[in-house]
Chain A
Amino acid sequence: MKSSTTALTEAIYYILLALQEPLHGYGIMQKTSAMSRGRLTLSAGTLYGAISNLLEKGWIIPCGESSDSDGRRKMYQITPLGQEVLTAEYERLTELVENGKAIINRE
């Protein structure tokens, strides 16, 4: 089932990339910030809305809880459907870059 034909926002793209492995909310914030070299700093409020949205679409699922010194936190991971959407977005972005290269770098 194709769930999205529109472009993903940068935040959603990075969250799906981060969730290739199980992570809790704070872990997602840290990983997305590290991947974008500090450029994308997700706030907890924004992240909550994004996670709720992704859960509703079935692109991510809860996968247990982490138990550390800061208490119990719910973990999330990407689903096969989410992976399909992420791959489609990666291909779309690649096409954008290739088309840009062909025109912008033309002498």
Chain B
Amino acid sequence: MKTRKIAIKWFVDFDKEEQWLNDMSKAGWAFWHTNGVIYRFKKCAPEEFIYQIDFDEQKPEKGGEDYVVFRSSCGDKFVHQWKRKIYWKREAAAGPFEAENNISAKLRLTNKAFNYHLNSFIGLTLIAAFAFLVLMPLGRHLPESDFARWLAEFSTGLTYGILIAELVILLPALRKLHKKINELIGQIF
């Protein structure tokens, strides 16, 4: 009988990713590792675990604890961390991670997701700016050679590729999260 499974997926929306991991768990596959595209699962009892996707937090300057250490000491099981994204699980029998009506918890997570995507957006914009302002002129002004041509074409492709990815994927994701944050704030006040 198959005890391990690999699935290839790519998510921008962390809510959908979390829902998918929970659906996989319901089908008897417990998530344990990802590199952002390839997801690895081990066989488990159907609906044995529930998953939560969260984002790492900076340790407070005035003597706090590491986020993963703190949550682990409170009973949540650390599964995996990929970049700033952290995957937690708990036995389904222990109940959900957050009470369904905990708006401030939802707001906290959505805000963290917004900052996560905003950091990606800023990072990619800086790379595009470097490619456009430094690499592209360099490729055009270097003496004619295969490398100079490659550099000019590569930097052009990189700049447009990033701009398209930002317009098609990241900006809609940021707008969606911003809308959700406003809706949650509206529910608090």
Q: Which residues of A line the B interface, CB within 8 A?
A: 9, 11, 24-26, 29, 41, 43-49, 51-52, 55-56, 58, 61-62, 70-71, 73-74
Contact = CB atoms under 8 A, between A and B. Distances in A.
A26 B71 CA distance: 9
Nearest to A40: B99
A55 B62 contact: yes
B109 interface: yes
B contact residues, range:
20 to 34
Given A29-B74, A44-B70, A56 B60 contact: yes
Main secondary structure of the interface of B (DSSP, over half): loop
Interface stretch (B34-42, B100-108, B132-140, B146-154): B100-108
27 contacts: A11-B104, A25-B65, A25-B70, A25-B73, A26-B73, A26-B74, A41-B99, A43-B98, A44-B70, A44-B74, A44-B75, A45-B71, A45-B76, A45-B98, A46-B104, A46-B108, A48-B67, A48-B70, A48-B71, A51-B60, A52-B57, A52-B64, A55-B64, A56-B60, A61-B62, A62-B62, A74-B64
Given A29-B74, A58-B62, A43 B57 contact: no
Contacts, number: 71
A41 B105 CA distance: 11
Given A51-B70, A52-B60, 15 more contacts: A25-B73, A25-B74, A43-B97, A44-B71, A44-B76, A45-B71, A45-B76, A45-B97, A45-B105, A46-B102, A46-B105, A48-B57, A48-B71, A55-B63, A61-B62
B96 to A, nearest CB: 9
Interface string B51-78: 0101001001111110100110111100
A-B CB proximity, top 6 nearest: A44-B74, A62-B63, A52-B60, A44-B71, A55-B62, A55-B60
Contacts of A45: 52, 54, 71, 76, 97-98, 105, 108-109
A46 B67 CA distance: 11
**By CB atoms of chain B within 10 A, which of A9, A25, A45, A51 has the most?**
A45
Contacts of B54: 45
